[in-house]
């Protein structure tokens, strides 16, 4: 039976209490509580035992009242779903999946629209980079181990539990069919790996390390888009790794002179964004590689991924959040001290101000219309494309729209 909650409020009087042994385990293993309740989604601190689904109702009601949301979409309690104490330490959103990584390195994949638990995957260790997803697959890197799975069912694309890499990877890994593509160090470039046999295939050499790698489309129409630290932007066709002597010919490539890339790639639809060390934000058409625009954006974007939502692109740089029109690159507004845009719902942007405070602002002009606290929530992941607000206290995960 699914433990995803239906749309609407849940009566708080139906509180569920964990058995004494489980409660004791939580108290013993999760005794420290973070002062800052809404850290970046990549890593969440250990904290005290979270409430049951029903006990979370007052928190969700407060968010609904303060955040100008339309309502609750779903909620899921991982411990109730698994029948044992389960705390999510990392939470991310990738396309139609919400991915929760718990303390035992298990990945729980929830349907983004319904909260239904789709599948669970055990990794050899904690993930060391962002998930590499496309319409058909999802790939996880755990140090030098990678696991690629079929997106809908979680079935492994390789015959073994994981694929050990005999090189140090860079950026994220993406898979098409039974071939995975991943940046490699020494020598630098993109390496293809045959998931069926574990053997390495052809290589795409580069002069500097691959900063990031993403995938668009699926099958024969897919593109593996990468960017190097020295500003080579390229798209490769999905050539199988069974070939070892093939010399890759790019679908397209752009060399950006004097550009040192310092951010991951942000991808949503045809929009691809990244930032450079000299303070420029680039917006590229992911289908053709055409640079739509390049605009000044502060002086320090290092490791700050842009958020693409609606007709705007949001980037943090030098302690300031910048909003740009997606079509022209015109600067729309700025917010000093903001950390990121978490999501956009309609014409409202949900801006992380740090210190457990979320500022709700108009997408057109940045004016603040509301604010609320996320006290008690350990993860609030960024959502490319927007449409929802997803958060977790570690045990419970829920979605507001």
- Measured distance CA(233)–CA(78) in Å, rounded: 40
Mean pLDDT value across residues 233-262: 95
**pLDDT for residue 51:** 66
Give 223's pLDDT tier (boundaries 50, 70, 90): very high
Average pLDDT over residues 370-397: 97
pLDDT band at 360 (very low <50, low <70, confident <90, very high): very high
User: Is residue 39 situated within a structural domain?
Assistant: no
Average pLDDT of the chain, as a whole number? 89
**Is residue 189, in this structure, part of any structural domain at all?**
yes
**Terminal-to-terminal C-alpha distance of the chain:** 24
Share of the chain above pLDDT 90, in %: 81
In a domain, 110, yes or no: no
User: Is there a domain that residue 87 lies in?
Assistant: no
pLDDT score for 49: 55
Secondary structure class of 79 (helix, strand, coil): helix
- pLDDT digit string, tens, across residues 250-307: 999 999 999 999 999 999 999 999 999 999 999 999 999 999 999 999 999 999 999 9
CB 361 within 8 A of CB 346: no
Percent helix, percent strand, percent coil in the chain, to nearest 5 = 10, 45, 50
pLDDT in tens, 77-111: 999 999 999 999 999 999 999 999 999 999 999 99
Q: Report residue 26's pLDDT band, with 50, 70 and 90 as the boundaries.
A: very low
Which residues make Cβ contacts (< 8 Å) with residue 292, sequence separation at least 6?
A: 283, 284, 285, 327, 329
Interval 47-85: pLDDT, tens: 455 568 898 999 999 999 999 999 999 999 999 999 999
Task: Decide if pLDDT at 9 tops 60.
Answer: no
Q: Tell which wins on pLDDT, 291 or 13.
A: 291
pLDDT beyond 70 at 1 = no
Q: Is the dihedral of CA 136, 394, 46, 58 positive or negative?
A: positive
Report which of 126, 210, 125, 225 is spatially closest to residue 174, judged by C-alpha positions: 225
Share of the chain above pLDDT 70, in %: 87
102 falls within a domain: no
CA distance 85 to 79: 5
CB 93 within 8 A of CB 383: yes
What is the C-alpha separation between 324 and 322, in angstroms, rounded? Answer: 7
d(CA 146, CA 91): 19
Distances (CA, A) of 127 to 5, 81, 97, 243, 271: 28, 22, 17, 29, 26
Task: Identify the pLDDT of residue 8.
Answer: 38
Residues 203-228 have a mean pLDDT of 96
Q: Which two tokens stand for residue 316?
A: 């943090």
Q: Does residue 36 belong to any structural domain of this protein?
A: no
Question: Any residues with CB less than 8 A from the CB of 116 and at least 6 apart, and which?
Answer: 2, 4, 110
Which residue in this structure is represented by tokens 């053997």? 199
The CB-side HSE value for 302 (13 A sphere, CA atoms) comes to 3
Question: What is the per-residue pLDDT across 308-324, written as a single tens digit (0 to 9) for each?
Answer: 999 999 999 999 999 99
Average pLDDT (142-161) is 91
Is residue 341 included in any domain, yes or no?
A: yes
The CA-atom distances, in angstroms, between 141 and each of 65, 218, 283, 345, 401 are 39, 20, 27, 31, 31
Which stretches of 160-201 are DSSP H helices?
A: none
For 260, the domain range is 127-400
Contacts of 361 (CB under 8 A, 6+ apart): 333, 335, 348, 349, 351, 367, 368, 369
What's the token pair of residue 358?
A: 């979320």
Query: pLDDT value at position 52?
Result: 83
Q: Which of 1-15, 203-217, 218-232 has the lowest mean pLDDT?
A: 1-15
Residue 42 lies in a domain: no
Q: Given pLDDT bands bounded at 50, 70 and 90, which one contains residue 163?
A: confident
**The total number of structural domains that make up the chain:** 1
What confidence tier does 29 reach under pLDDT thresholds 50, 70, 90? very low
- In this prediction, residue 396 carries a pLDDT of 96
CATH number, domain with residue 163: 2.130.10.10
């Amino acid at each position: 039976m699914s433990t995803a909650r239906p749309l609407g409020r849940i009566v708080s009087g139906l509180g569920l209490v964990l058995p004494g042994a489980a409660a004791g385990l939580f108290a013993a293993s999760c005794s420290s509580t973070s002062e800052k309740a809404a850290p970046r989604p990549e890593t969440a601190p250990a904290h005290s035992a979270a409430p049951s689904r029903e006990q979370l109702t007052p928190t969700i009601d407060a968010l609904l009242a303060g955040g100008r949301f339309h309502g609750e979409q779903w909620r899921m309690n991982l411990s109730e779903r698994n029948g044992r104490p389960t705390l999510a330490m990392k939470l991310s959103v990738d396309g139609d999946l919400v991915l929760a990584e718990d303390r035992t390195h298990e990945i729980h994949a929830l349907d983004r629209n319904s909260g239904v638990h789709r599948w669970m995957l055990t990794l050899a260790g904690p993930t060391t980079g962002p998930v590499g997803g496309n319409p058909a697959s999802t790939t996880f890197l755990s140090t030098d181990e990678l696991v690629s799975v079929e997106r809908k069912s979680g079935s492994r694309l390789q015959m073994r539990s994981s694929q050990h890499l005999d090189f140090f990877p860079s950026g994220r890994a993406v898979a098409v069919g039974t071939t995975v593509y991943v940046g490699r160090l020494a020598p630098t470039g993109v390496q293809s790996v045959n998931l069926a046999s574990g053997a390495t295939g052809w290589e795409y050499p580069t002069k500097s390390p691959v900063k990031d790698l993403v995938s668009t489309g699926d099958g024969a129409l897919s593109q593996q888009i990468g960017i190097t630290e020295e500003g080579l932007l390229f798209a490769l066709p999905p050539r199988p790794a069974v070939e070892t002597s093939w010399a890759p010919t790019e679908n397209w490539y752009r060399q950006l002179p004097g550009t040192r890339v310092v951010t991951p790639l942000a991808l949503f639809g045809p929009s691809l964004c990244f930032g450079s060390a000299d303070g420029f934000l680039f917006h590229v058409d992911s289908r053709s590689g055409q640079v739509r625009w390049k605009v000044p954006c502060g002086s320090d974007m290092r490791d700050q991924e842009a958020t693409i939502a609606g007709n705007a692109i949001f980037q943090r740089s030098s302690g300031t959040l910048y909003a740009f029109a997606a079509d022209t690159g015109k600067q729309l507004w700025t917010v000093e001290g903001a950390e990121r845009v978490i999501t956009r719902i309609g014409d409202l942007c949900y801006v992380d101000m740090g210190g457990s405070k979320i500022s709700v602002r108009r997408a057109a002009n940045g004016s603040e219309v509301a604010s609320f606290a996320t006290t008690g929530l350990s993860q609030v992941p960024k959502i490319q494309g927007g449409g929802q607000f997803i958060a977790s206290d570690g045990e419970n995960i829920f979605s507001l729209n």
